[in-house]
Amino acid sequence: MADTIIIEVSRFHPEHDAEPTYQSFEVPLRGDWMILDALNYIKDNLDGTLAFRWSCRMGICGSCGMMVNGVPKLTCETLLTNFAPGPIRVAPLDHFPVVKDLVIELDDFLGKLQKVRPWIIRKDERPPAREFIQTPEQLEAFKQYTLCINCMLCYAACPVYGLDPNFTGPAALALAERYNLDSRDQGAAERTDVLSQHDGIWGCTVVGECSVVCPKGVDPSLAIQQYKLSATKEWFRTWLLPWGNK
Amino acid sequence: METSSHDILLIGGGGAGLRAAIAIAETNPKLDIAMVSKVYPMRSHTVSAEGGAAGVIGDDDTIEEHIYDTISGSDWLGDQDVIEAFVNEVPNELLRLEHWGCPWSRLPDGRIAVRPFGGMQKMRTWFAADKTGFHMLHTLFQTSLKYGTLTRYDEVFATQILVDDGRACGVVGIELRTGKIRTIMAKAVIVCTGGCGRVFPFTTNANICTGDGMALCYRAGAPLKDMEMVQYHPTGLPFTGILITEAARAEGGWLLNKDGYRFLQDYDLGKPTPTPVFRSMELGPRDRVSQAIFGEFEKDRAFHGPYGDFVHLDLRHLGEHKIESRLPMVRELCLKYENIDPVREPIPVRPVMHYMMGGIHTDIHGATSLTGLYAAGEAACVSINGSNRLGSNSLSELLVFGARSGKSAAEYVTNGYKPANQNHLLAQATDEEHRVEEQFLHKNGGTERITKIREEMQKTMESGCGIYRERASLVDSANKIRELKERYGNITMEDHSRTFNTQLTQGLELGFMLDVAETIVHSALNREESRGAHQRRDFPKRDDNKYLCHSVVHRSAEGPPRIEYLPVVITKWPPGERIYGRDH
């Protein structure tokens, strides 16, 4: 195996570039290095102007998502050697406006997250003096959706979001479903307004790419399908059975 | 320059900051709250905490026992009035998290499950598998979204706390996306910026843990406390320093040397048993276990690897089911970063800098010495941790003292506040803008690379101020840090642009870290005894006559920091011997 590898990094500086361009760097090809280690090597030794986000370097803070050879990845847990002999192309996540180099804008997601009301909604004003009882089975019903780290890989993979930025998108929908399925929550009806709109769940065409790229094993596609099913039932109940027991 | 003003400003959006924000909104729903954070709140380092949060809940557990464990764990350097308040308030704080949706792990009947933890004599650590910090942070962040009175300044990097007439009145910050300088004025400021692990080369801490808030307060005139108390976690992965949670030992994992021997029995930590025993062996406190591993390195009973010596953490006897259900992240991290499966192979581990017991000096309400300035979480030192924090007390601490500081600040701005002179603040902000431009953005020439100074700082902190220290090593580090501070004035900048200039943030962070490093070294040099995490080769015994007190470190106009001593608050628990693994 060669002892170096070429990384082509997408560079874009809004103060003087009209379009992003790729710049090549030669970095050591070390067996225990992740893509992020190589980017830090570039930043520290070759070009101090390179901009990218990172923090925990253990796959939990969600900062360092990028396109690696066209696939959305957390760069802190993607081995460099997987791409030998190279070159490797590293670019900002697809479908987001680029701030600079590998840094994207997240405002759209944060707005959508707030819109789906990702907090426990209760009808009673005062919570109990002790914990809500929740069995391990009840926890299991929503647990996988709590594992979302907001890394945005699913948005970068979602072809629907690529075409229609108004689509609420996989992570925000999975988090809405996380609360809907939580035995402590009573807010599903309140969330229906947002989720049932055209750009809510109905935008999803079941491509399933979101679930494939999720680094945490969350299945947003399943959340969306589950929600479509319950929303459809609700719709039938409301409109086709007006005389029924609502 | 853009200017805005709010009632209360939080610096930092991790667990403590978010808990404080909610406390303010609940105390007075009319207050206008702002949160400045250099990262999006859900990226904060609280996210990396794994094992759990301690709080008395079991029928067989008592408040007194948690208090005693915390005091003895602190090697009697924790303030007992503070610890008493802390232990009493934790259970309710953890319940509030439960009501807000935190997915705590459960017993089969649906009640909260608890697990054992190091230095604790009962099971009282609440956990959400081994991603407790992640779940707490996201629960707090998502819950904070329902408060319309909270304005967030995400990715705004605070460079200075504004002070007028002895009161904190806001911050100057750089909006990273545009490079614009913002002046954010407030009647009170709460600093919740976390720790400073990146001062050291080998740390579990995230890239963002650069002691910003500690340095901001220190520069603004609020002293720091017990900065010599640096916690090494016994079990980090070699090379990366990624944390393998103490929960791995609490669930029954063993520490083995190269002969497969459970060496902790040689370090006055008890006798090996097949299943874990509270306050014994692998459930000893972190300072003692890390020191024992270091002892194995010195006796050449450890493995040698490319990143230094290591020992084994063996989980194989726990079986796949237990590892998968209780420690899924441990398995995930080992597979991804070490290419080993703990179900089948032992995990290589070595002690790694993990947590700062010291921090911004506050009282029991989270108030610093400067009017209107509060601090909470790892950035602060209240102090409950003294010279050694017990695992799972820090997530609890950020809740209790996040809430306390929020309430205190809310009461202060509602009742006792006097308006500041806005012209004074704007003049300070203009000066600060000029400083940032002169030192960084417009800087030409200069020969010192930021990276190089950072690496030299980290190296000298480890060699001079690590698990074991002595006068000579500390003096070397003090001289080195002074040299690096001088060279810092001569740094070279390649990036002069405004847009998301991460070289600028690296430069500013390095300045913060050099200040913090200096306080660590000088506090360690002055404390001529060994206590908890502070082990002096030249003063191997605890000295309660001279040092049953906190180091309080002030910035001097020039020269080294000035250190004063403040007696520890002792109420009902007179200093005694720390006993682990045998009866007391």
Q: pLDDT confidence of A192, banded at 50, 70, 90?
A: confident
Cβ-based burial of B202 (10 A; exposed 0-12, middle 13-18, buried ≥19): buried
Are B106 and A134 in contact by the 8 Å Cβ rule? The answer is: yes
Tens of pLDDT, residues B494-517: 999 999 999 999 999 999 999 999
Q: Which of A11, A55, A75 to mutate to test the interface with B (most CBs of B within 10 A)?
A: A55
Tell me, what's the pLDDT at A241? 59
pLDDT at A205: 78
pLDDT given at position B191: 98
Residues 6+ away with beta carbon under 8 Å from B40: A106, A110, A150, B13, B154, B155
Q: Give B419's pLDDT tier (boundaries 50, 70, 90).
A: confident
Counting residues of chain B whose pLDDT is more than 90, the rounded percentage is 98
Q: What is the per-residue pLDDT for A127?
A: 85
> pLDDT digits over A53-109, tens only?
999 999 999 999 999 999 999 999 999 999 999 999 999 999 999 999 999 999 999
Instruction: List CB contacts (< 8 A) between B131 and chain A.
Output: 60, 147
B109: amino acid identity, one letter: D
A-proximal residues of B, 499-518, CB under 8 Å: 499-503
Read off the pLDDT of residues A215-243 as tens digits, 9 standing for 90 and up.
Answer: 999 999 999 988 888 777 776 766 665 55
B465 in helix, strand or coil?
A: helix
The distance between the two most distant Cα atoms of chain A, rounded to a whole number of Å, is 74
* Residue A245: predicted pLDDT: 45
Average pLDDT, rounded, for chain B: 97
CA–CA gap between residue B399 and residue B377 (Å, rounded): 8
Q: Work out how many CB contacts closer than 8 A connect A with B.
A: 151
3-class SS string, B474-513: HHHHHHHHHHHHHHHCCECCCCCCCCCCHHHHHHHHHHHH
Closest-CA distance, B383 to chain A, in angstroms, reads: 26
* Per-residue DSSP letter, B99: H
Q: Which of A55, A131, A150 sits opposite B206 (nearest CB)?
A: A55
**Residue range A206-212: average pLDDT?**
90
Q: Say what the alpha-carbon torsion angle B125, B128, B130, B132 is, to the nearest 10 degrees.
A: -80
DSSP single-letter state for residue B369: S
The nearest alpha carbon in chain B to A144 belongs to B103
- Which tokens in the block code for residue A143? 């647990």
Beta bridge partners of B353: B203, B232
Q: What pLDDT was estimated at residue A246?
A: 38
Candidate from A44, A63, A119 with C-beta closest to B100: A119
For residue B111, the chain A residues in CB contact (below 8 A) are: 131, 133
pLDDT at residue A19 tops 60 = yes
ipTM over 0.85: yes
pLDDT of A240 reads 62
With CA atoms as reference, the chain B residue closest to A59 would be B333
Ranges assigned E (strand) in B390-507: 468-469
The per-residue pLDDT for A207 is: 81
**Which among A77, A101, A185 has CB closest to B336?**
A77
Q: Taking each helix axis from N to C terminus, what angle separates B394-411 and B15-27, rounded to the nearest 10 degrees?
A: 40
Q: Is B310 helix (H, G, I), strand (E, B) or coil?
A: strand
User: In this model, does residue B41 exceed pLDDT 70?
Assistant: yes
According to the model, what pLDDT value does residue B584 have?
65
Burial class (CB in 10 A: 0-12, 13-18, 19+), B452: middle
Tens digit of each residue's pLDDT (9 = 90 or more) over B242-286:
999 999 999 999 999 999 999 999 999 999 999 999 999 999 999
Please tell me the predicted confidence (pLDDT) of residue A235.
Answer: 64
Task: Please name which of A97, A57, A61, A95 lies closest in space to residue A75, comparing C-alpha atoms.
Answer: A57
**Confidence band, pLDDT 50/70/90 cuts, at residue B555:** very high
A136 CB neighbours in chain B (<8 A) are 105-106, 108, 110
CA distance B67 to B44: 29
Q: Cis omega before residue B383 (within 30°)? A: yes
Give the nearest partner residue to B135 out of A45, A120, A146, using CB atoms.
A146
Entry pTM: 0.97
